[in-house]
Each structure stands twice: as structure tokens, then as C-alpha cells.
Amino acid sequence: MTPSPTAPEPAASPLLAERNGRVVTLTLCRPHRRNAMSTAMLEHLAAELMQLTNSKDGAPGALVLTGAGGTFSSGADTREPDWRDLSRRAVRRAHFRTVFEALHEAPFPVVAAVEGYALGGGLELALACDLVVAGEGALFGLPELGVGAVPGGGAVHSLLRRAGRGVAARMLLIPGERVRADELARLGAVERTVPDGEALAAARELAASVAAGDPALLTAGVRLLRDSGHLDRTSALGVENGYWWQAASAANREPALPGVTPS
């Protein structure tokens, strides 16, 4: 009998959650597979993100995403029994897209804490976060072309915006290419590098400082960041104007007179 794609994981759960004050940490927990993202892990991650987003009282001020066992994630789990079945791959891709959409819609900042490898879907997951903190020796790559696929979770778009066409082309077209965190930091795709082994502590410290801000303003800020980065200047200013008014109202401020451009 063919094993189910959602067969039980060796660990109690492929995802662990921990709260410290206003910061929640979600840990990808399949270290025996370098945290390759199985269908079960994606289902857990999507459900947890939606629960945190929709929480009325317990929504975090910031979220940290990390991986167990000294690595972030080696990407999609190509050893799942039905990996080459197109219909099941489409189902898994839908789960990936649900996770990325949940990250985009989350009303709180999300910080990736990366050690070891962030490959394929793992790289896409890291780049879907608002901030990336990485051990200086962490390695990032897109091996998809070497395993009969192309990236499907926005990595190329994110790399083009955050690091430039050159590094995006290298990582996409040379499946074995691995780019160190310190190079991506110089290019702007990684916000902070720290000594190896210290990414999680540094990400939690950063998340705690961010989470100390006003929740309504944080929500407006992260949505402005996510919604305007790909737009032309005129469109981006329109989005900014909308969030300015939303933040002013939420913070109980006296808005500027109608028709006057806010500053």
C-alpha cells in the first residue's frame, strides 16, 4: 500500500510553537530531514499562522520563524511518496501558497532566523519574512532546476527586488550555487548577520524590540512595507497615503484637513 502523504512525523509535531512575552517563535522541526517541508509540516504551519493572525486577544507583537537542528530548511520534501505525482504536487504547492499568503497578511512583523541551509522553498520562506537574521555562514540556494522543477513561491521575484538580477540569475540558473549570508547581506536580501549559532537569539532580540511598538501602528507599518515595495512611486505614495490615514485614525490622532497631503 502506498503511504499517505500526510503520514505521521517521527517527531511529535513537525512544527513547535513557543511564546516569550509578545514574541512567538515557530520552529520547523524535522531535523532528520534538514527540516524539509512535508505536506504535514505545511499544513501545520498554515494553520498556526492563521490562528495567530485571527487571534482576538493573543496575537503576537512579532513572530520569529526558525528551524531545529542547526538548519533553517532544505526546501520541499522530495522524498514524500507521491513527489512525482502531478496532482499531489499541485496540492503541496497550494499549501505553500497558503503559507506565503498567510505571512503576507499577518498583522505583525515576521523575522526569519536562519542557520545552516535555506534552500528552495526554505529560501522562499525566509524571503517571505519582513526581516532576515542569519548566521554568517548560512547558505542560500535555489536547486529547483536540478530536480525537475522551477521555483514556485516567489523566490525569484524577492531576489530581484532585494538583491538584484545578477544574484537571482546565479541562484536560479546554477542549481548547485550556494550564496553565503554575508554576501546576501551586502546586497540587501539579509538584514543582519551574526556569528553562526546566534541567529535565533539575535532574531528574538530584534523581534522583541519591534514588538514593543504600538500594535495598530505596527500593523499599518508592515502592511505598508509589503504592499508598496513592488509599485511605482505614484502608486506607492497612494498606498502610503491610505495607511497614513488608517494609522492616524487607529492611534486616535487628529487627522490633517481633507485635501491636504499628509506628511
Catalytic residues: 76, 121, 124, 144
End-to-end Cα distance, the chain: 65
* The residue type at 249: S
Query: In terms of DSSP bridges, do strands 23-28 and 15-20 run parallel, antiparallel, or are they unpaired?
Result: antiparallel
- The H or E element containing residue 185 is helix 181-187
Please, how many CA atoms are within 13 Å of residue 57, restricted to the half-sphere of its CB?
A: 0
What are the DSSP E strand ranges found in the chain?
A: 15-20, 23-28, 62-67, 110-114, 117-119, 131-135, 139-141, 179-180, 192-194
Rounded to 10°, the helix 39-54/86-105 angle is 20
Rounded to 10°, the helix 215-228/233-250 angle is 170
Q: Tell me the C-alpha distance between 184 and 133, whole Å.
A: 11
Q: Tell me the C-alpha distance between 127 and 61, whole Å.
A: 20
Task: Please name the residue that has the C-alpha cell 499562522.
Answer: 49
Burial category of 25 from C-beta neighbours within 10 Å (exposed 0-12, middle 13-18, buried 19 and up): buried
DSSP annotation of 111: E
